[in-house]
Structure 1
Amino acid sequence: MVRSLGTVLALMALVGFGAPVAAGPFSPLKIVNDQVITQFEFEQRLLFMQLLRQPGDLEKAAMDTLVDDRLRMSAAKQFGVKMTPDQLKAGMEEFAARANLTAEKFVEIIGQAGVQPETFRDFVESGLVWREIIRGKFAPTVSISETQIDRALANGRPMAALQVKLSEIVIPAVGAGRDAALQRADKLRLQLRGGADFASLARQNSSAASAGRGGALDWMLLTELKPDAAKVVRGLAPGQVSAPVVLDDTVVIYQLQEQKQEMTQPSGAIMVDYAAFLVPDDGASAAKVRAKVDTCNDLYAVAKGLPADRLTRQTLPQAQLPSDVAGALSLLDAGESSTAITRGGWRVFLMLCRRGPPETEMPSRDEVRVQLTNQVLGAQADIYLEELRSEAMIRTP
């Protein structure tokens, strides 16, 4: 993704290096079921991808993505998925923000390079409707277990944190006034569904300090919200408005403006939590232990009643590990063990408990759950798109 205005301007030199011009800009290059992809659309997508500095065979990628977009929009029509103007605007802002630009400035820059605003809009719309389809079709079936979260955290992955940019309408709901506040919030939500402007309603109705800004809040980590609010916001797409959320003595309505996942910046120190359990070097004792344990904590039950020096557990910076221990642990994931080391006639049952940044720099369980869910949904989206592609009639005129 283009990261700065200067980079975008520098890439304008690429204009003119696209595919040869065909007989006319609207001559068909590909037909996907009954939908035509024109020469003009192809040239626009190719130029857009050049400006974004996409790698690989851009001519092939441009056509492939146009075909995929046709399939996505056909699926959207089948499921009745449409983007409102506000959702589309929020999606364009979200994309442009990756280059530290507003949508308006982004459109201006790519326009100077020859890319039409409709090209950018169609590209964003296809991605937004696809996200809605995948959420609606597959999200209810995705269940991330606590064990999966434990495993991800133990292995120091993932390291991305979900950030959101929200607007809010906060209504006081003290004591017996809660029912009245909820009724008021429901009325406001109906107005918003009818097309009312969120910022205007926030200025008129919100009791929060953000009211003067139309309810707008700064970027924040999703985990900075209270759990009930985070749960509601997590299910929103850009532009969508939440159901009223009761938080202490207030009722709050949120609108999601943008969201992004940013990689956290670890301190650089990789910490390794490991256990070393001394067992007889007889070839069978280590196998018996392995059969009884799944995590490092399970070793405490196995070692119960034995001398304290038989089981040790340490958390050290990776650079400070003994060389033989470091070598053995480097081959393991959390919960795996090695018996490659001996100590004074004992076999060392070595088990990796956790490897990664310090605990204070790790994502929360909620963040990990969201990321693992997105990984599953991403894989299911790829499979579903491949199914649509295999069922479609795609031909060259």
Structure 2
Amino acid sequence: MMNPRAVFRMVSLASAMVLGLAAVAPAGPFSAIKVVNDRTVTQFEYDQRLLFMQLLRQPGDLNKLAMQTLIDDRLQLSAGDQFGIKLTPEQLRAGMEEFAGRANLDAEKFIEAIGGAGVQPETFRDFVEAGLVWREVIRGKYAAAITIPDAAVDRTMASFTPLTSMMLRLSVIEIPAVGAGREAAMKLAQHLRLQLRAGEDFAALARANSKAASAGRGGAMDWVKLSDLPKDAGLAVRKLQAGGISDVVVLDDKVQIFRVEEIKQETLTPKTQVVDYAELLVPDDAASIANVRSNVDTCNDLYSMAKGLPADRLTRKTVPVSQLPKSVAGALSLLDAGESSTAMTRGGYRVFLMLCRRGPAENELPSRDEVRLQLTNQKLGTLAQIYLEELRSEAIIRTP
């Protein structure tokens, strides 16, 4: 019979060997390297996220950012579970298409491009999924309580200065629509729009139906600045990604359908293009001037002050800066949007001069709805950061 002490030594030695091997064996790619509450981050996920961020040319310390974003993903997905948010396959696919569209690619081509560099489709999908879930969490938690006043929209539009101009390469199907043929042209355009939505080739339909000079080229146009398009055409294409088909654009003498082929941004040389200003003639006494000052925050408020007065007491003009009357050019140059001056008199009245806006021409301005959405998203972004910090502070994050 073997000595019990010898058995004990053999068992101890075997245990030590096993433990020693476990200690030096390298971690597998799917081993957990971080645990966020009850969700894990694997070495494979970290390596993939790091590679993905490198391909996107993200700035900063990518080794640190890759882990931080993966931790945030776990917190955001947990919040989504808490609020019962489940994405449909259609929502996820749309999110992937939206992200890929920033590179002027569809999701399939984007996945193919990053796949060539070693990033798996699941990495892209998981990245988009966490972002979409978080967006729904924030909207559900905060959006209903956010109100953007009209005055805030006015101030934003008054100070808006584009740093770039959107350039588009478009293709067009153009059908004359005048007189008795207008109704038929509208019906044809709507029919063509349905065909395009069903996957018909734009160039072929343009050659067969368009009356524009570009018809022989399949509707292909030269590069055009968004702001140079007619207003209705600009509104129809400004939100489209490359490959997008516009709704039917109805003009006075024709109807058009556009396809966006390419999009690029052209850097603008900062310069003042137009000045929008107002002049209200008020009695030349301190009480009248003080009354206007206390009741006017934007140029639109002047209309209420002028109610019931002769029409010539309030004037509002938008002119190129080079065409400003010398009598007001100097005073306006000292004002920011929403500021006023009462330094001038005219015909026995004090001139309440107010700068409404200084900047690009009107067709380069965003719409009020776009500005309101931008301001809402800014508030949501701030609230999202605060909420994420709360989740981080409450989470149990450990390294196994």
TM range (shorter): 0.5 to 0.7
Aligned residue in 2 for 1:336: 339
- CA deviation profile, 1:244-286 (whole Å, cap 9, x unmatched): xxxxxxxxxxxxxxxxx99899997632112356789998875
2:96 corresponds to 1:95: no
Aligned residue in 2 for 1:48: 52
1:120 Cα shift?
0.9
1:301 Cα shift?
6.7
Is this contact kept in 1: 2:151–2:298, CA < 8 A?
no
Of residues 81, 96, 118, the one that matches 2:122 is 118
**Counterparts of 1:211 and 1:271, CA distance in 2:** 41
Of residues 365, 369, 393, the one that matches 1:366 is 369
Aligned residue in 1 for 2:391: 388
**Counterparts of 2:79 and 2:301, CA distance in 1:** 49
Aligned residue in 1 for 2:276: 273
For the structure 1 residues 107 and 68, does the alpha-carbon distance in structure 2 shift closer, same or farther, using more than 3 Å as the test?
Answer: same
Aligned residue in 1 for 2:356: 353
**Counterparts of 1:116 and 1:85, CA distance in 2:** 18
**Counterparts of 1:290 and 1:149, CA distance in 2:** 21
**Counterparts of 1:116 and 1:285, CA distance in 2:** 70
1:135 alignment partner AA: R
For the structure 1 residues 304 and 213, does the alpha-carbon distance in structure 2 shift closer, same or farther, using more than 3 Å as the test?
Answer: closer
Is this contact kept in 2: 1:91–1:124, CA < 8 A?
yes
**Counterparts of 1:78 and 1:145, CA distance in 2:** 32
- CA deviation profile, 1:59-92 (whole Å, cap 9, x unmatched): 1211111111111111111222122222222221
**Counterparts of 1:271 and 1:70, CA distance in 2:** 49
1:38 alignment partner AA: T
Of residues 312, 330, 339, the one that matches 1:324 is 330
Q: Normalising to structure 2: TM-score of the pair?
A: 0.59
2:277 alignment partner AA: Y
Aligned residue in 2 for 1:145: 149
For the structure 1 residues 47 and 295, does the alpha-carbon distance in structure 2 shift closer, same or farther, using more than 3 Å as the test?
Answer: same
Aligned residue in 2 for 1:35: 39
Aligned residue in 1 for 2:64: 60
**Counterparts of 1:222 and 1:29, CA distance in 2:** 50
2:94 alignment partner AA: A
2:357 alignment partner AA: R
For the structure 1 residues 102 and 138, does the alpha-carbon distance in structure 2 shift closer, same or farther, using more than 3 Å as the test?
Answer: same
**Counterparts of 2:117 and 2:108, CA distance in 1:** 15
**Counterparts of 1:277 and 1:25, CA distance in 2:** 72
Structure-to-structure mapping, 1:1-397, within 5 angstroms: 23-156=27-160, 209-212=192-195, 215=198, 224=236, 270-276=273-279, 286-299=289-302, 313-318=316-321, 320-321=323-324, 324-329=330-335, 332-333=336-337, 335-338=338-341, 349-397=352-400
For the structure 1 residues 301 and 122, does the alpha-carbon distance in structure 2 shift closer, same or farther, using more than 3 Å as the test?
Answer: closer
For the structure 1 residues 81 and 368, does the alpha-carbon distance in structure 2 shift closer, same or farther, using more than 3 Å as the test?
Answer: same
Is this contact kept in 1: 2:272–2:358, CA < 8 A?
no
**Counterparts of 1:308 and 1:214, CA distance in 2:** 51
Unaligned runs of 5+ in 1: 1-21, 162-206, 226-260
**Counterparts of 2:375 and 2:119, CA distance in 1:** 36
Is this contact kept in 2: 1:328–1:338, CA < 8 A?
no
- CA deviation profile, 1:5-59 (whole Å, cap 9, x unmatched): xxxxxxxxxxxxxxxxx74423433221121212221121111111101111211
Is this contact kept in 1: 2:50–2:62, CA < 8 A?
yes
**Counterparts of 2:199 and 2:339, CA distance in 1:** 47
Unaligned runs of 5+ in 2: 1-25, 167-189, 203-231, 238-262
Q: Normalising to structure 1: TM-score of the pair?
A: 0.59
1:271 alignment partner AA: V
Is this contact kept in 2: 1:266–1:361, CA < 8 A?
no
**Counterparts of 1:210 and 1:305, CA distance in 2:** 50
1:125 Cα shift?
0.9
Identity among equivalent positions (%) equals: 62
For the structure 1 residues 133 and 354, does the alpha-carbon distance in structure 2 shift closer, same or farther, using more than 3 Å as the test?
Answer: same
SS in 2 for 1:81: coil
SS in 1 for 2:51: helix
2:358 alignment partner AA: R
SS in 2 for 1:380: helix
1:65 alignment partner AA: T
Is this contact kept in 1: 2:282–2:352, CA < 8 A?
yes
SS in 1 for 2:334: helix
For the structure 1 residues 298 and 131, does the alpha-carbon distance in structure 2 shift closer, same or farther, using more than 3 Å as the test?
Answer: closer
For the structure 1 residues 56 and 325, does the alpha-carbon distance in structure 2 shift closer, same or farther, using more than 3 Å as the test?
Answer: farther
For the structure 1 residues 59 and 276, does the alpha-carbon distance in structure 2 shift closer, same or farther, using more than 3 Å as the test?
Answer: same
**Counterparts of 1:136 and 1:222, CA distance in 2:** 32
Aligned residue in 1 for 2:240: none
Is this contact kept in 1: 2:148–2:372, CA < 8 A?
yes
For the structure 1 residues 292 and 135, does the alpha-carbon distance in structure 2 shift closer, same or farther, using more than 3 Å as the test?
Answer: closer
**Counterparts of 2:363 and 2:299, CA distance in 1:** 20
SS in 1 for 2:319: strand
1:386 Cα shift?
2.0
* Count of paired positions: 291
**Counterparts of 1:158 and 1:77, CA distance in 2:** 40
Moved more, 265-274 or 374-383: 265-274
**Counterparts of 2:265 and 2:293, CA distance in 1:** 35
SS in 2 for 1:29: strand
1:387 alignment partner AA: E
- CA deviation profile, 1:292-327 (whole Å, cap 9, x unmatched): 323335446767999999876442324555663353
